Amino acid sequence: MTDIDSLTDAKATARLKWLAMEIALHDAAYHGADAPTISDAEYDALRRENLALEQAFPHLIQPNSPEARVGAGVSDAFAKVAHRLPMLSLGNAFHAGDVTEFDERVRRFLSLERDAPLAYTAEPKIDGLALALRYENGALAEAATRGDGRTGENVTTNARTIANIPETLTGKNVPEVFEVRGEVYMSHADFAALNARAEEDGGKIFANPRNAAAGSLRQLDSKITASRPLHFFAYGWGDVSTVPGETQAAVLTAISDWGLTVNPAMKLCNGPVALVAYHAEIEAQRATLGYDIDGVVYKVDRLDYQQRLGTVSRAPRWAIAHKFPAEVATTVLDDIEIQVGRTGSLTPVAKLRPVTVGGVVVSNATLHNEDYIAGIGGDGQPIRDGIDLRVGDTVQVRRAGDVIPQVISVDLEKRVRDSEKFTFPDTCPQCGSAAERVEGEARRRCVGAMICPAQAIEALRHWVSRDAADIEGLGIKQVEAFWQDGWVREIADIYTLEANHGAALRTREGWGEKSAVNLFAAIEARRTLPFARFLYGLGIRHVGRTTAAMLGRAYGDWASFEAAMIAVAGGDEPAREMLLGIDGVGSVLVDTLASVFGEAMTLDRLTRLREHVTIEDAEAVAAGGIFSGKTVVFTGTLEHTSRAEAKAKAESLGAKVAGSVSAKTDYVVAGTAAGSKLKKAETLGVVILSEDDWLRMASEG
């Protein structure tokens, strides 16, 4: 988290803009695609930082502030339902102190004495998805997801398949209209069985029960929903003709009497101490509840108080979610494997006895580098100083995002007797070359370069990747297979594949005339490359897309660049000065380029590659490149690329990406459902590009 006090307005604005974009992306991944990319705790941290910044800099609140939005958009696949009353979200508490503050806030608002009785309902916060069930004259009339809080998706047919959602409400005093709100979820056992089946039949594997529930409810074919065991807990209500009670607890009792399920763990608590005790009680039961929860929810019990307290931006003042910390699991470190990357860096990976962390089975975790294993502290390294990691150790794993789990601590009491310190290899496990550690660097590197299969394959994979030569049909599997067979050992070999192995490829297993011809055509199409793509494709350390483009702009054509680099490698001072003089070039990059262009083998490979690939002059590209120096605004939903990717791409082409349209805007790229920005652009006469226009123009540089 940024140190807020030391921020200037400009920095705070930049951070708020970034947070708005980042949070929106995560919202979309979480709600839209049912596939979150960070952990809830990390997401909450982003939200907290945003809120803190907005409080410190209220004049800088962005128009697209995450605080003004609830959830994510609505998919086109279902009919839309406008919620008669918005489906709100909840504010969060993380510590006991936040709960006390919440209680104090409520009391202050209601002008209650510190010790006046104030009851709250407390219940688990189910990690599923919200659903509104509209009953008319006791019959289920409509079921809608939350969507963006105002408009949801009509999933009535699917909701009817959920066993504990009654078709009709029974019992006394069922109101004419009653909209029940609650959470749809999948139990741990059902989730595990569903994934096990999917694994057998090659179906979709879900990352966690929440995604499985969301994916199951949002099926176009309700037979599929019916085959998925979903459950529903009622926790509230929306539009109703009569409220059957004067307290939250009384209404939920009525809802339960009508045949819906209310969480049996719900309890009435008096004051913050009782609330915090409830939190601890539920946290202790978390592992045995049988379904995922991510905290508990407290609600002021008296409805007249709820009414008076009302709502602020997206959340009611009368309720709060008290979250649990990020999920951690204990398991055994079975092995430490060393992986070798494209630039030869050796990365240790923990092979863990499979364990479920927040619904995801984790069996690998990054160990970063050798110091991390040795227990030598470094930047943000969570293992305590001086405590090393050993094979056989009992360790705690945290899912820091759904992608890369972390080993965060070792249980020394459970350390196996006779266990040995892990010896980090000083040779490359792939090719046996020396693995050296340069002073000041955290990683060891294999010096084997292209004789190292791991590096060679990674280098080839990088060359064919989207932002480099972008050769369709040549993925990691194909590259690996061609390398193993000796067909493609260096980049130049890709371009002689047809001449040398054309006939063999056409009859190779898994290939045929058509796929071979397609591949040759894809390779053919990339015999001419812009300078920046060519240089980036070489996979030189520290030369990312932006740096490659920058070097292109500085030297213009490849021959001049290569000659200059060879001169730098040979110790030519003026050449070095010229390189260092380029804005954004530092001595680390200069040294790297010098060592790469000082190697005879690299130069030979480059010469061979250049026999097959024509490199366009960077100046020519820049002059023709219409985005250079221009201001671009993206709006609407992009179908083929993410906002973040489009932005990075535009910037790499020299454009400035802005958030709003003004007279200074040169281009507006309008995706689907573009709204006010598009209108403004039309009014101002700004050039409007479709996503396809953008992709085509961007790919041409």
Which residues does the annotation mark as catalytic? 125
Stretch that binds ligand IVH, among 120-128, 284-292, 383-391, 661-669 (CB under 6 A): 120-128
Shortest approach of ligand IVH to residue 172 CB, angstroms? 25
Quick one: which of 235, 278, 305, 694 contacts ligand IVH (CB under 6 A)?
235
Helix (H) or strand (E) segment spanning residue 375:
none
Shortest approach of ligand IVH to residue 267 CB, angstroms? 12
Nearest to 452 by CA among 489, 411, 504: 489
Beta strands in 11-128 (DSSP E): 80-82, 92-93, 119-126
Question: Assign residue 496 a region: left if phi > 0, alpha if psi is -120 to 50, beta otherwise?
Answer: alpha
**Count of residues that bind ligand IVH according to CB under 6 A:** 15
Does the protein bind ligand IVH through residue 319 (CB under 6 A)? yes
Does the protein bind ligand IVH through residue 130 (CB under 6 A)? yes
On whether the CB atoms of residues 590 and 565 are closer than 8 A, the answer is no
Shortest approach of ligand IVH to residue 123 CB, angstroms? 5
Does the protein bind ligand IVH through residue 125 (CB under 6 A)? yes
Tokens of 402: 């759904």
Stretch that binds ligand IVH, among 88-96, 282-290, 483-491, 649-657 (CB under 6 A): 88-96
Does the protein bind ligand IVH through residue 145 (CB under 6 A)? no
Using the minimum distance from each CB to ligand IVH, give the nearer residue, 319 or 564. 319
Q: How far apart are CA 639 and CA 98, in angstroms?
A: 41
Using the minimum distance from each CB to ligand IVH, give the nearer residue, 72 or 468. 72
Q: Is 444 exposed, middle or buried (0-12, 13-18, 19+ CB in 10 A)?
A: buried
Does the protein bind ligand IVH through residue 297 (CB under 6 A)? yes
Does the protein bind ligand IVH through residue 301 (CB under 6 A)? no
Which long-range contacts does 38-45 make (Cβ < 8 Å, 24+ apart)? 38/401, 38/402, 39/326, 39/327, 39/358, 39/399, 39/400, 39/401, 39/402, 40/127, 40/294, 40/323, 40/326, 40/358, 41/323, 41/325, 41/326, 42/326, 42/400, 42/401, 44/92, 44/94, 44/323, 45/1
Stretch that binds ligand IVH, among 83-91, 194-202, 338-346, 502-510 (CB under 6 A): 83-91
Shortest approach of ligand IVH to residue 43 CB, angstroms? 11
Quick one: which of 90, 159, 282, 585 contacts ligand IVH (CB under 6 A)?
90
Q: What residues contact 565, with CB distance under 8 A and at least 6 apart?
A: 579, 593, 594, 596, 597
Quick one: which of 118, 276, 320, 321 contacts ligand IVH (CB under 6 A)?
321
Shortest approach of ligand IVH to residue 259 CB, angstroms? 19
Shortest approach of ligand IVH to residue 69 CB, angstroms? 13
The CA-atom distances, in angstroms, between 542 and each of 343, 345, 433, 436, 591 are 10, 13, 23, 18, 10
Quick one: which of 66, 152, 175, 236 contacts ligand IVH (CB under 6 A)?
236
Quick one: which of 41, 72, 88, 622 contacts ligand IVH (CB under 6 A)?
88
Q: How far apart are CA 215 and CA 35, in angstroms?
A: 10
Stretch that binds ligand IVH, among 11-19, 82-90, 544-552, 590-598 (CB under 6 A): 82-90
The CA-atom distances, in angstroms, between 490 and each of 24, 452, 493 are 41, 12, 6
> Considering only residues 19-58, where is the footprint of ligand IVH by CB under 6 A?
none
Shortest approach of ligand IVH to residue 568 CB, angstroms? 56
Q: Is 259 exposed, middle or buried (0-12, 13-18, 19+ CB in 10 A)?
A: middle
Backbone angles phi, psi at 613, to 5 degrees: -120, 130
The amino acid present at 128, given as its one-letter code, is: G
Quick one: which of 44, 67, 179, 183 contacts ligand IVH (CB under 6 A)?
183
On whether the CB atoms of residues 589 and 547 are closer than 8 A, the answer is yes
Does the protein bind ligand IVH through residue 292 (CB under 6 A)? no
Quick one: which of 40, 123, 301, 691 contacts ligand IVH (CB under 6 A)?
123
Using the minimum distance from each CB to ligand IVH, give the nearer residue, 296 or 457. 296
Where on the chain is the footprint of ligand IVH (CB under 6 A)? Answer: 88-90, 123, 125-126, 130, 146, 183, 235-236, 297, 316, 319, 321
